[in-house]
Amino acid sequence: MKKVGVLGSVGTFTHVALEKFEKELNLKFEPVFFSSVDLCFQNFSKLDYIVLPIENSIDGFIQRNLDLLLDYQAFVIKSTSLKVDFKFVSNTKDISSINKLYVFYKTLNQCSKFVNSFKDLQIEYSDHNIDSFERFRNDNSFLSSAIIPKHINTSRDQFIVEDIVDEIKNETRFFIVSKDKENHLIDNSIIKVLLVITPDIDSPGILVDILNIFKEKKINLSSLMSRPTRKELGKYHFFIELSYEYNKSSDFEDAINRLKGSNNCQVLGLF
């Protein structure tokens, strides 16, 4: 059975995403849980895959995870999305008296309006959403609370507030990544690509030149993110997601060959 690195523990959204990948890829996985995504990658040599939260519809891309993809040369083999919803749990109905909140930092960003309605609230950041719940249950204070996934079962004695996300249509997208360039493409489908372009020389209009090549080939770009190379101030990697029809692979290959003339181009996923 293939081993897969997963953030958190049973019940996290990353674990739910793993179960969805099992069905979509028709594979059976053994989850190996870690307290952080960094630890997943540090143990990549012992794993076959990692499930990676990559983008949220409210909070945007998880930039650290983009860096890890490139640092470890991981390869995206499939993408999936989950509806993400949260609830607030406490031991008292008088939530105005709450003075402590356990919450994962990405969750806080998605529920900021609700959290900002409190005054003098001590924020205790957790490693992941299930960690928030565990720390809340182990806290002896009657005035503590947590924000946790809506699907997690809670005690009848606990007070719940639902529908606390900033936007009703809140989704998170996940990648499953491999150490090797596996091919799980389906013929006659739309091919999605994660591409990283690093210009050899910084010059005026360099990004426009890159984008124009894709425009000429009628290749659709769905996202563009810049991340510092961390080697020199002002030098950036451009993470680009794009898509093209399966029968137009030659147009994509031609575009890549043209880009390689003045850029370092790395394909980090075909899915």
pLDDT given at position 86? 97
pTM for the full predicted model: 0.91
In this model, does residue 186 exceed pLDDT 70? Answer: no
SS3 207: helix
* Side-chain half-sphere exposure of 155, counting CA atoms within 13 A: 9
Q: Domain residues for 141? A: 86-161
List the alpha helices (DSSP H) in the chain.
13-25, 37-42, 63-71, 105-110, 112-115, 129-137, 206-216, 249-259
Residues 150, 31 share a domain: no
Give the mean model confidence (pLDDT) for residues 76-85.
96
Residue with tokens 């043209």: 258
Report how far residue 5's alpha carbon sits from residue 72's, in angstroms, rounded to the nearest whole number.
14
Average pLDDT over the chain reads 94
Q: Say if residue 79 is in the same domain as residue 174.
A: yes
Statement: residue 232 has pLDDT above 90: no
**Mapping DSSP to helix (H, G, I), strand (E, B) and coil, where does residue 40 land?**
helix
pLDDT at 262 over 90: no
Give yes or no: residues 74 and 105 share one domain.
no
- Give pLDDT tens digits for 114-143: 999 998 899 999 999 999 999 999 998 889
- Provide the pLDDT for residue 140: 85
pLDDT cut 90: percent of the chain above it: 85
Q: What is the pLDDT of residue 187?
A: 62
CATH of the domain at 135: 3.40.190.10
Q: Is residue 185 part of a domain?
A: no
183: in domain: no
CA distances from 5 to 176, 215, 240 (A): 10, 37, 25
Give Cβ neighbours of residue 180 (< 8 Å, ≥ 6 apart).
75
Residue 208 resides in a domain = yes
* 237 — pLDDT class (breaks 50, 70, 90): very high
